[in-house]
Every structure is written in structure tokens, then in C-alpha cells.
Amino acid sequence: MKVPFLSFTPQNQAVRTDVLEAMARVFDSQWYVLGDAVRQFEAEYAAFSHTQECIGVANGLDALHLALKALDIKDGDEVIVPSNTYIATWLAISFVGGTPIPVEPVLDTYNLDPTLLEAAITPRTRAIMPVHLYGQACEMDAIMAIARKHNLYVIEDNAQSQGAAYNGRLTGSFGEVNATSFYPGKNLGALGDAGAITTNDAGLAKRVRTLRNYGSQQKYYNEVIGHNSRLDELQAAVLSVKLPKLLDWTRQRQEVAALYDQHLAGIAQLKLPATAAGATHVYHLYVVRTARRDELQQHLTAAGIGTLIHYPVPPHQQQAYASLGYQRGAFPLAEEIAATCLSLPMWPGMTENEVEVVSSAVRAFFQA
Ligand SMILES: *Cc1c(COP(=O)(O)O)cnc(C)c1O
């Protein structure tokens, strides 16, 4: 039996009729940008996130960029960022003229190591950007305490972790302004690009609303040099249909992860995901590690099982960041993760049988 890396089939079946009806309503409304559907989804996602405000934008990268811009982070500013994140977090800093200052993760959880933060802080540091990677909440109490002590902003990258929590508080509700993505494969996915910012600060929310819409609050009056980065009505309507299912889909992801944990336990050469005390994990990805990663991936591909690597090259080793001058070995944990990580198939509604097929193929590889 073939197992893809990701299937939308169970999710799509659960919402097909409602999504098509919602799309028809937008079509018939004759209003396609910044209307009732966006306002409604923003209110619903703010309520879901336990924040006062949500501002819909065009994608997750724009959400990160506008968050930094709203905080007036600019040329010469330093922003602390994980060494092992998706490049989007770094790019947003570069867009505003700032410098990404990488900090290494805890190797068990892949999330920012709070004990390394203070050594990275300089007089130019303005903010910390924790990324709740793979679906697990960062150790936010320690991160927030350090941010407060040094008077730094916190901007969460919550693209992979909608609905995760640290000590009972939801990710995307800790920082001054926080970004998320509704890219189709994310835990809450649109039918194209979409993203949002969450915040409890009304002033910052207003700045982001202005920045996303040409720097304008009143049509054709432009206060600042803004962007065109609006969540569109069609995507907002789709997201409003899917949001009420997210808790259920998260539980299904957690069940799939628990089955993997069970079926893959005890393989000496295979490191399974671990969750920090106080954190919850919503399993955007189920990531394992092994020194024999490339061989394992080839073995699974040959067996018809889809896998991906998140991510094969850490940002500091990307050609795009050659100008920062980092040599091989500059961030050994990020490099180690890039060389050894493998994401196994994971989606809400994946069956126990499918998990078993993947797990047996992994076992067979290590037993051979
Ligand atoms: C997906 C993702 C983004 C970017 O979101 P887009 O909507 O694709 O622009 C940013 N950060 C992380 C950690 C992501 O996984």
C-alpha cells in the first residue's frame, strides 16, 4: 500500500459541501476584498487564539514582515531567531533591514533554547522571534521573562502551531504581535495563500490594518508607505468553515502521533519527537531523526511512502544568506538537525493501518 506524505481527502470530505456553499456566497455577494467574510473570520480567529485582535493578511511571510514593521524594527536592529527555522522567519527580518541573530534549539524539542538567549543579546537587540516548530509550543515562560528583563519585543511565528499551548496559554497570544500562516498544508489551511497577525494591542492592530492596505485607513488617503497584503474574502470564507473543525483535526493529529510513538518505540538508531514539560504539541509534522536519514528516506520512497525534510539547509547555510559570512559548523545543532531529520506522513484522518504500514517499513529498514 502506498502512503502519501499528506492527504487532504478526510479534511476535504468533512467540509466539502459547506466550503462550496461559502464560496458561492462570496461569489454572489459581488464583494471580494476586505468585506464581511474577512471581518467575520478575523473575529473568529481572535476568539480561537484568545487575543483581542486578528488581522488577516495575504500569507504567513507577510504576517511576519508586517508584525516587525508595526513594531518599527528597522535598519541596524538585531532580532533573535532560531538557527533551525524555516527561512521565512529570517526573511521578514531582512525585509525591514534588520539582522537575524541565530540561537540554537534544544535538541530534543527543536525549539529555541531559552538558556542561550541572554548570550545573544546586544545593545542593538530589539526583539525575539520564537518559532513553535513542527507544532510544539516553545518554552514561553522562560522566553517572556528574558524579553521583559531586557525590554525586548516578542513576535511569535505560529505558522505551524495553531492551537498549541504552553502552561495552558495558547501560542500566538504571548508576544506583542504574532504571525501565523494558513498555507494549505498548515494545521488550519486555506485553498491558497493566506495568513494572519494576532495581538492584544489595539494600537498595533491598527498599524497592521493600515500597513496591509496601502498604508491607508480611508480609501485614497495614504498615511504611510504601505503594502497590498490583504486576506481575500474567498479564503476567509473557507477558513471560517474549517476553523470549527480545527480542535478535532488537532486531536486526530495527536492520535496519529501517539500511534507512531507506540509502533516506532525502541529502535535504537531512531529518535522520536519529544515534548517539553508544560508544552503541548499539535503535530503539524511528525519528525524523526537518524544518522541514516538519506538511506531511510530512499527505502521509504521505494516502498511508496512519502516523506519530506524540514529543512535540508538551515538559513545560515543558504546561498541567500552567504553575505552573513557563517561557515560550516557555525550552528552545529541546526546543521545536525538538517542532516538527520525526516518528516513521516501525517494528516488528520490518517488511518491506523496507514501508520502501521509506515512504521513497519521503518522497522524493516533498521532490522535489515
Ligand atoms: C509556512 C511558514 C511560514 C510562512 O508562511 P507562508 O504562508 O508560506 O508565507 C513562516 N514560518 C514558518 C515556521 C512556516 O512554517
pLDDT in tens, 10-59: 999 999 999 999 999 999 999 999 999 999 999 999 999 999 999 999 99
Q: What is the pLDDT of residue 334?
A: 98
182 CA: nearest ligand 1 atom: 7
pLDDT tens track for 287-334: 999 999 999 999 999 999 999 999 999 999 999 999 999 999 999 999
- Positive or negative: CA dihedral 162, 167, 168, 173: negative
Q: pTM for this one?
A: 0.98
CA atoms of 137 and 131, how far apart (whole Å): 8
List alpha helices for the chain, DSSP H: 9-29, 36-49, 60-70, 87-95, 117-120, 140-149, 202-212, 233-242, 246-264, 293-302, 332-340, 352-367
Q: How far is the CA of 210 from the centre of ligand 1 (A)?
A: 22
pLDDT tens track for 75-86: 999 999 999 999
Torsion from C-alpha of 41, 46, 48, 51, nearest 10 degrees: 180
Q: What is the pLDDT of residue 47?
A: 98
Q: With a 6 A CB cut-off, is 235 part of the ligand 1 pocket?
A: no
Mean pLDDT of 180-209: 98
User: DSSP state, 345?
Assistant: P
Q: With a 6 A CB cut-off, is 365 part of the ligand 1 pocket?
A: no
Q: What is the pLDDT of residue 209?
A: 98
Q: With a 6 A CB cut-off, is 156 part of the ligand 1 pocket?
A: no
Q: What is the pLDDT of residue 188?
A: 98
Mutational pocket test of ligand 1: of 65, 83, 183, the residue with most ligand atoms within 8 Å of the beta carbon: 183
Q: Between vectors from CA 52 to CA 48 and to CA 53, what angle results, nearest 5°?
A: 85
What are the residues facing 288 on neighbouring strands? 342
Are 164 and 280 spatial neighbours (Cβ–Cβ below 8 Å)?
A: yes
Q: With a 6 A CB cut-off, is 181 part of the ligand 1 pocket?
A: yes
Atom 3 (ligand 1) nearest CA: 60
Atom 12 (ligand 1) nearest CA: 159
Atom 5 (ligand 1) nearest CA: 60
CA distances from 351 to 9, 99, 186, 256, 357 (A): 12, 44, 19, 8, 10
Distance of CA 61 to the CA centre of its chain: 10
Mean pLDDT of 104-113: 97
CA atoms of 200 and 177, how far apart (whole Å): 8
Mean pLDDT of 263-282: 97
Q: What is the pLDDT of residue 29?
A: 98
Q: How far is the CA of 347 from the centre of ligand 1 (A)?
A: 18
Tell me the backbone φ, ψ of residue 4, rounded to 5 degrees: -75, 165
Order of strands across the sheet with 195-199?
53-57, 195-199, 178-181
> Pairing state of beta strands 169-170 and 165-166?
antiparallel
Q: With a 6 A CB cut-off, is 158 part of the ligand 1 pocket?
A: no
For residue 230, which of 88, 18, 31, 34 has the smallest C-alpha distance? 34
Mutational pocket test of ligand 1: of 86, 171, 283, the residue with most ligand atoms within 8 Å of the beta carbon: 86
For residue 346, which of 303, 288, 274 has the smallest C-alpha distance? 288
CA distances from 67 to 87, 89, 273 (A): 16, 11, 30
Atom 2 (ligand 1) nearest CA: 159
Q: How far is the CA of 88 from the centre of ligand 1 (A)?
A: 6
Q: What is the pLDDT of residue 50?
A: 98
Q: With a 6 A CB cut-off, is 86 part of the ligand 1 pocket?
A: yes
| Mean pLDDT taken over the chain | 98
Reported confidence tier of residue 368, pLDDT bands at 50, 70, 90: confident
Q: How far is the CA of 228 from the centre of ligand 1 (A)?
A: 18
CA atoms of 26 and 28, how far apart (whole Å): 5
Q: How far is the CA of 57 from the centre of ligand 1 (A)?
A: 13
> Pairing state of beta strands 125-128 and 195-199?
unpaired
For residue 214, which of 232, 227, 223, 224 has the smallest C-alpha distance? 227
Are 3 and 345 spatial neighbours (Cβ–Cβ below 8 Å)?
A: yes
**Any residues with CB less than 8 A from the CB of 20 and at least 6 apart, and which?**
none
Check whether 72 has a pLDDT greater than 90: yes
